[in-house]
Amino acid sequence: MYDKNKLRDLPQSPGVYLMKNLQGVIIYVGKAINLRNRVRQYFHSASNLTPKTVVLVSHIETIETIVTDSEMEALILECLLIKNHRPQYNILLKDDKNYPWIKVTLNEEYPRIMMTREHKKDKSKYFGPFTSGFAVKNTIEAILKIYPLRTCNRHVSYGKKIGRPCLNYHIGQCQAPCQGNVSTEKYAKEIDEVLDVLNGRHSDLIKKLREKMQLAAVSQDYEEAAKLRDQISGIEHIVEKQKIISTSEQDQDFIALAQEGDLGCVQVFHVREGKLLGRDHFFMEGITEVEIPEIMENFVKQYYASCGYIPSEILLEETMTDAETISRWLSQIGGKKVEILTPQRGHKFKMLEMVGENADLALKQRLLERRQKEEQSKSRLHVLGDLLALDTIPRRIEAFDISNISGTNNVGGMVVFTDGKVNRKACRRFKIKSVEGQNDYASMQEMVFRRLERAMKSDEKNTFLPLPEVIMVDGGSGHVSAIESIVSLYPVNIAVCGLVKDDRHRLRGLYFKGEEYPLKKATPLGIFLYEISEEVHRYTLGYHQILRKKEMLASSLEDIPGVGKKRREVLMKHFGRLENIKDAKIEDLMKLPGMSDKTARAIYDHFN
């Protein structure tokens, strides 16, 4: 528990505070204009705090502070720390992905159109962000069918021939500017038309193309008329899903929230130049007893810190406490004025209501899926409990596996399933210590013995509790018998069964009390046991591969004259990776403590 007497030592400056638990793990990150005053608020009467905050305070062991020059710097640092550490008691944005953009490389003499997930200041024109990469690819493909723009990354320029034209030229999908005979004026005209389509200014373009088509038909140039007809059809197909929702040509994001329990759904509608170009929803966890303005503030900070593009207007249902500071911060990132508004009436208010309805629908769908998964988990646990004749359903199942190569780097893995789902925090890895060579039975016995021994220790923070109702081992009757002999040494009631594999190492059945029960893949129990088998195998094999890589690295460095275990550790601590040691100069190697000229030369020569 945190010592309140330390509060007087906190600085009265703007900055960030990091709350840590007994294990030194960061459990909450916050910012403040005055660090001392803000942190003191957590230790006032519990009646003034939300239940979530009371639990948070009970776990605080230490508080670290980082002083900044301004509230703006504190805000930026807070966003960075939350993203890096993902603290348990912060409201976290569950989705973390980069959205696709359509990029037109206007900084090139012959621009290209492509999909990208990075928004850079490189003089290119970006459209988006979009919520579906598939839709972006389809749009680009449709545009390239209408306009034969180049797609290669050759550095082409007018009057300069570079190699032979590719297949796209021969099938009419590229004008081949690599041959140096495509005028920049003609190419630029087509790029302008593409920009008009993507900007939604397609009405005038279609009108001009229809006039050209009619002239071509009158002149009996039917091939040209057909080409123009296909262009018009393609453009209409691209823009048909763009819904005009505003007469203004501003870029706007409309954001609304729906919540139930500890789960919230934030819906974002992306409006670009008055047209709805895309929408998306995000789920936020840990929002019980949290006010809507605080939830929206957390979302806005996390979302726009890594979004890539920030519109001129961000419209929210409720006003945020730090709206002005966040607005200045976003203006700084976006390089333009960014306003955060809360409309109370009119078109924008109605638009937010529609966004809120969409958020509510998405949340209900997620909750329905969650309930279905929970029911499915209960169903297969009931079936397993009936098969093993257990008094209660097995809420905790532990699966064990062994991995080695010819008896070397002998390791084991314990994967825990709680209520039918993997509990990654409870999973454990073991280095087998008492067994030499390849002896899976003995290795498995050592692992289960160590697991149960640790569980017997009377420690309030025992991470090997509670005990499981079921232990599963990768193997048949021999493995099960070996583990049963260990379990029988303890006053526990744990069912031991084996995941039996066929000659191709595929799950065949479940071995229990001298009988093998065949499994059907399509049944809930068959799918569940297959998940357990694959997860424990993957987990154990991953640990084995890590140790092998470390051993190979140690062997590679210790083969060098003058390099032993201690010097290898110094090298790895300083350079981090073997590749960095390979690229190091002799001068860099000689700077290390205790490194002689001779050994530095030997290391350099070994890799060069």
Whether the CB-CB separation of 50 and 29 falls below 8 Å is answered with no
Q: Within this chain, do residues 545 and 400 fall inside the same structural domain, yes or no?
A: yes
Q: CB burial class (10 A; 0-12, 13-18, 19+) of residue 211?
A: exposed
Count of C-beta atoms within a 10 Å radius of residue 527: 14
Quote the tokens at residue 110.
């012959």
Residue 28 in this model has a pLDDT that exceeds 80? yes
Instruction: Calculate mean pLDDT across residues 168-191.
Output: 87
pLDDT of 93 strictly over 80? no
Q: Is 573 in the same domain as 496? A: no
Residues 582 and 589: their CA atoms lie apart, in Å, by 10
356 and 455, same domain (yes or no): no
Amino acid in position 112: R
Task: Provide mean pLDDT across the span 326-337.
Answer: 87
Q: pLDDT tier at 129 (50, 70, 90 boundaries)?
A: low
Rounded distance between C-alpha atoms, residue 407 and residue 403, angstroms: 9
Which long-range CB contacts under 8 A does 414-419 form with residues at least 24 apart?
414/447, 414/451, 414/536, 415/532, 415/535, 415/536, 415/539, 416/468, 417/532, 419/374, 419/377, 419/378, 419/381, 419/395
Cis, peptide link before residue 129, omega less than 30° from 0: yes
Is there a domain that residue 212 lies in?
Answer: no
Mean pLDDT of 525-529: 87
Same domain, 183 and 308: no
Higher-pLDDT residue of 591, 479: 479
Model pLDDT, residue 245:
52
Distance CA 94, CA 287 (A): 12
pLDDT given at position 574: 76
Confirm whether 169 is domain-assigned: yes
pLDDT of residue 10: 86
- Considering the domain architecture, whether residues 544 and 563 belong to the same structural domain is answered as no
Residue 358 lies in domain: 252-364
Domain membership flag for residue 427: yes
Alpha helix segments (H runs only) across 388-512:
440-456, 477-487
Given 90, 110, 136, which residue is the final one in a domain? 90
How many structural domains are present in the chain?
Answer: 5
Contact, 507 vs 499, CB < 8 A? yes
**Nearest C-alpha neighbor of 122 from the set 132, 134, 136, 107:** 107
- Tokens representing 267 are 């819906």
Q: How far is CA 484 from CA 381, 471, 489, in A?
A: 22, 10, 9
Mean pLDDT of 122-128: 80
Residue 560: the pLDDT is 78
User: Rounded to a whole number, what is the largest CA-CA distance in the chain?
Assistant: 98
- Cα separation, 26 vs 62, in Å, equals 9
Q: Is residue 9 domain-resident?
A: yes
Q: How far apart are CA 537 and CA 99, in angstroms?
A: 34
Q: Is residue 238 part of a domain?
A: no
| Identity of residue 272 | R
**Is 146 found in the same domain as 123?**
yes
Closest by CA position to 314, among listed 503, 306, 303: 303
Q: What is the pLDDT at residue 161? A: 85
| Contact (CB, 8 A) for 482 and 498 | no
Q: Give residue-wise pLDDT tens across range 247-280.
A: 566 788 999 999 888 888 888 888 877 776 667 7
Query: What's 10's DSSP letter?
Result: S
Give the per-residue pLDDT at 159.
82
Q: Averaged over 425-442, what is the pLDDT? A: 86
For 111, residues 6+ apart whose C-beta sits below 8 A from its C-beta are 104, 105, 149, 187, 191
- Percent with pLDDT over 70 in the chain: 89
- Are residues 34 and 129 located together in one domain of the fold? no
Domain stops at, among 160, 182, 199: 199
pLDDT for residue 239: 58
Note whether 407 and 529 are same-domain residues.
Answer: yes
Length of the chain: 608
Domain membership of residue 301 (yes or no) is yes
- Quickly tell me which residue has 């960075």 as its tokens: 80
Percent of the chain's residues with pLDDT above 90: 13
Asked if residue 353 and residue 453 are part of one domain, the reply reads: no
What are 34-76's pLDDT values in tens digits?
898 999 888 887 777 777 888 888 888 888 888 887 787 788 7
Phi then psi dihedrals of residue 503, to 5 deg? -65, -20
Q: In this structure, what token pair is assigned to residue 484?
A: 């049963």
Q: Which of 143, 134, 164 is nearest to 152 (CA)?
A: 164
Q: So what's the pLDDT on residue 96?
A: 46
| Residue 209 is assigned to a structural domain of this protein | no
Q: What is the per-residue pLDDT for 550?
A: 66
**356-396, pLDDT tens digit by residue?**
888 888 888 888 888 887 787 778 888 898 888 888 889 99
Residue 569 sits in the same domain as residue 484:
no
Between residues 89 and 242, which one has the greater pLDDT? 89
Cis peptide before 343 (omega within 30 of 0): no
* 39, HSE (Cβ side, Cα atoms, 13 Å): 31
Mean pLDDT of the chain: 82
CATH number of the domain where residue 50 is located: 3.40.1440.10
Instruction: List the single range of 165-169, 315-319, 347-351, 558-562 with lowest mean pLDDT.
Output: 558-562
What is the DSSP track for 78-118? HHHHHHHH--TTS-EES---PPPEEEE-TTSSS--EEEES-
Apex 510 CA angle, 509 and 515, nearest 5: 105
Counting Cα atoms < 13 Å in the Cβ hemisphere of 241 gives 11
| Phi, psi (deg, nearest 5) at residue 190 | -70, -35
Q: Kindly provide the residue ranges of all beta strands, DSSP E only, lying in 144-287, ordered along the sequence.
A: 243-244, 252-260, 263-272, 275-285
Alpha helices in 388-405 (DSSP H): none
The candidate with the shortest Cα–Cα distance to 476, out of 502, 444, 445, 499, is 499
Say which residue, 565 or 412, is predicted with more confidence.
412
Domain-terminating residue out of 177, 199, 221:
199
pLDDT band at 554 (very low <50, low <70, confident <90, very high): low
The band of 448, judged by pLDDT with boundaries at 50, 70 and 90, is very high
Same domain as 153, residue 133? yes
Could you count the other beta carbons within 10 Å of the beta carbon of residue 6? Answer: 11
For 585, the token pair is 């100069």
Q: Is the pLDDT of residue 573 over 90?
A: no
Residue 113 within a domain: yes
Same domain, 19 and 68: yes
